[in-house]
Amino acid sequence: MSEPFSLSVIVPVWKEAGAIVQTLQALQPLREAGHEVIVVDAGSPDRTAELARSWCDRLVASGRGRAVQMNAGAAVARGNVLLFLHADTRLPESALAGLEQFSRSRFGWGRFDVALSARRPIFRVIAWFMNRRSRLTGICTGDQGMFIRRDVFEALGGFREIPLMEDVEFSRRLRLVSRPWCITDPVVTDSRRWEQNGPWRTIVLMWRLRWRYWRGESPESLAKAYRSDVRNASD
């Protein structure tokens, strides 16, 4: 990369009023270092957008769907590296140094290792398997903080705007450019989804959905199955 490293952190949000300020406060050191934070809100009915406004460089309104939101954020980003970060995920303190190192490499994209916030041993095991699987397959999920050179993102046309598996689908195309650059200092992702649905139930659900996806089932039908399973778990 011949031009100086510049980073755009793109955070898609939906009904995150309870956590958005804390999420964005953690990103302020990046802004102080001259990089930008872009929040993309899909019309949250709570105060998410209002609360986020003073903690980011740009607040973008978009349609619903994580892929739609991430593409909308990328469309206005100024950085030559795009980092897509879930609202419930925290970067390690060393993130900027790792991303600068990536920017000097020949890799087109990458991701962080991941840790789950809960302290129970099962969650450390889950994270270990997530990281190991990602290294073996070259597939990244959104929880891992995917980062991509902007010219690569644009050349591949960004995320396919599907309701589920947009990160897996994009990883498959990105692997044609390079293997992922892996930053071993982990992002920390909130384990609430795993705790609410139960760790084993969530593992089985995610593997079943991925298996169905690899066999060619549509993301739309998988999204319906995912929503149905989550509703049943909460009943």
pTM, entire model: 0.89
In sequence order, the 6+-apart residues with CB closer than 8 A to the CB of 68 are: 42, 62, 161
| pLDDT at residue 228 in the model | 65
**Number of other residues whose CB lies within 10 A of the CB of residue 84:** 28
Q: Please, what is the Cα angle at 119 between 117 and 122, to 5 degrees?
A: 100
Pairing of the two strands 81-84 and 7-13: parallel
Question: What are the residue ranges of CATH 3.90.550.10 in the chain?
Answer: 7-190
Q: How far is the C-alpha of 144 from the C-alpha of 34, rounded, in Å?
A: 23
Owner of token pair 């790792």: 98
User: Is CATH 3.20.20.70 the right assignment for the domain spanning 7-190?
Assistant: no
Residues in the chain where the model's pLDDT stays below 50:
233-235
| pLDDT at residue 225 in the model | 72
Q: How far is the C-alpha of 165 from the C-alpha of 220, rounded, in Å?
A: 10
Q: How far is the C-alpha of 113 from the C-alpha of 45, rounded, in Å?
A: 33
Here the tokens at position 51 are 């609360």
